[in-house]
Amino acid sequence: MQQKVIALPALRIAAATTELVKGVLALYPQASIIPRLTPLEDEDISVEVQLPVTLEELYRARDQIHELVIQLQERYDVLILASAVPQNHPSC
């Protein structure tokens, strides 16, 4: 089902954020999704996805989350940075 691009930037960001959170939690129910209050670059959405997984699983998670991010960026015309990190990462 093709969705129309939402005209207002705030609504596009809200819709993309909602789908990002739902998508990540569908893949990794144990994830903690922490918003970054200051973007690292010029992204519209910036989150850290904390996962209690092995290093090998973390690499796989990064790939899956990246695929989701690409789909949402194309659908909603927003820039997204979602970084998968181990749960015991120093920023946690």
Q: Could you read off the pLDDT of 38-88 as tens digits, one per residue?
A: 888 899 999 999 999 999 999 999 999 999 999 999 999 999 999 999 997
At position 30, the amino acid (one-letter code) is Q
pLDDT of residue 1: 47
Report the relative pairing of strands 80-86 and 45-51 from DSSP bridges. Answer: parallel
pTM of the model: 0.86
pLDDT of residue 88: 77
pLDDT at 91 over 70: no
Joined together, the tokens standing for residue 70 give 């690409």
Confidence of residue 92 (pLDDT cuts 50, 70, 90): very low
